[in-house]
Amino acid sequence: MAELSYPDIEAAAARIAGRVRPVTVASAQPGNRPEAPTPTAATWSASPADDPAGSGVHFALEFMQYTGTFKARGAQNFIQAHLAEGTFPEAGVTIASGGNAGLACAWAARDADVPATVFLPANAPAVKVERLRGYGAEVRLIGSEYAEAALACQQFVKSSGALASHAYDHPLIAAGAGTMMTEILSQIPDLDTIVVSVGGGGLFAGVATAATFHGVRTVAVEPKNCRALNAALEAGEPVDVPVDSVAADSLGARRATPLAVSAAQNDLVTSVLVDDEQIVSARRHLWGEHRLAVEHAAATALAGIHGSSDSGVYVPSDGEKVCVVLCGANTSLGDL
Question: pLDDT digit string (tens) for 200-258?
Answer: 999 999 999 999 999 999 999 999 999 999 999 999 999 999 999 999 888 988 899 99
Dihedral sign from CA coordinates of 174, 242, 265, 321: positive
Quick check: 33 pLDDT over 60? no
In this prediction, residues 6-26 reach a mean pLDDT of: 97
Nearest to 177 by CA among 65, 331, 38: 65
Give the residues across from 271 on adjacent strands: 220
pLDDT of residue 332: 77
Average pLDDT, the chain: 89
pLDDT of residue 39: 37
Q: Which residues contact 71 (CB under 8 A, 6 or more apart)?
A: 100, 101, 103, 104, 167, 173, 177, 202, 328
Q: What's the pTM value of the predicted model, to 2 decimals?
A: 0.89
